[in-house]
Structure 1
Amino acid sequence: MWLSDVQKIGVGLTAFGLFFMVLGVLLFFDGGLLAIGNILFLGGLTLMIGIPKTIAFFFGRRDRLRGTVAFLGGIILVFIRRPVLGMGLELFGFINLFGDFFPVVVGFLRRMPFIGNVLNLPGVSHVVDRIVGRSLPV
């Protein structure tokens, strides 16, 4: 399936958002970079999947409410100049919201040439499977 132009822009904004967040953390929790990263990430996510699906993702299911509150609360804390506490709360919310996708990501990484070899080593494979929570059937 091909991406529309709006979705391609969304992918780019999401990537830049993640880049700015990583850069903000590496530069000792620079609040400005983290705030820009958060705005770009949310904007990119919205452009990728659309406004109704974004609202449904964050607020549609009751079991995601704790992750949504933590993630959005962390963003607010970053905006009011509490970047360390905000990023901690955001990380907790991110894991709660996107934790279901981790097995899919690990399965994809295991099929990549060099990373897959490392992830399939006996000791590493056991640790990764334990962190992710379950193995994929493939």
Structure 2
Amino acid sequence: MNEMQKIGAGCLGIGVVLFFLGVLMLLDRALLIMSNILILMSVVMLMGVQGFLQFVIQKDKLRGTVTFSTGIIFIFAKIPVVGIVLEVIGAYWLFGGMIPFLKSFLLKLPILSMILPFLTRQKEELPL
């Protein structure tokens, strides 16, 4: 990781924390806007401007891009409930293919590597 990607990873973590704080604080608009800006900025820092643009303009990612962008617009327009729902759906459509990679990455982190196997094992043992 170069320095820009390290800063991007830190901004992404702060953005995610601000997003959850915004939701916990009864949809605080200021926290949600700051989290959106930080998350978008961090993804650009992690992928680079050209890589980010190529990623979001892909034909199969266009639905997620439009949905996520619409969610941001709703949050700026003071309709946070609809905005959050659209953002979460759009983020899933954009980054859903990366979930297995994310899981393997998180399993390599020291603290989470102790917690995540327990959670996945519990999930597998639940009767359906």
Bin for the TM-score computed over the shorter chain: 0.7 to 0.9
- Which of residues 8, 11, 25 is equivalent to 1:10? 8
Regions of 4+ moved over 3 Å:
106-111
Residue of structure 2 equivalent to 1:70:
67
C-alpha distance in 2 between matches for 1:104 and 1:125:
19
The separation in 1 between residues aligned to 2:24 and 2:14, in whole angstroms, is 15
Residue 47 (structure 1) aligned to one of 32, 45, 48? 45
Aligned residue for 1:105? 102
Higher helix proportion: 2
Using the size of structure 1 for normalisation, the TM-score is 0.81
- Structure 1: which 5+ runs fail to align? 128-138
RMSD over aligned CA atoms reads 1.7
TM score, norm. by length of structure 2: 0.86
Q: What's the offset of the Cα at 1:101?
A: 1.2
- Give the match for residue 116 of structure 1: 117
Percentage identity across aligned positions? 34
Measure, in 1, the Cα distance between the counterparts of 2:11 and 2:73: 20
Number of residue-to-residue matches in the alignment:
122
> Is residue 2:97 matched to residue 1:96?
no
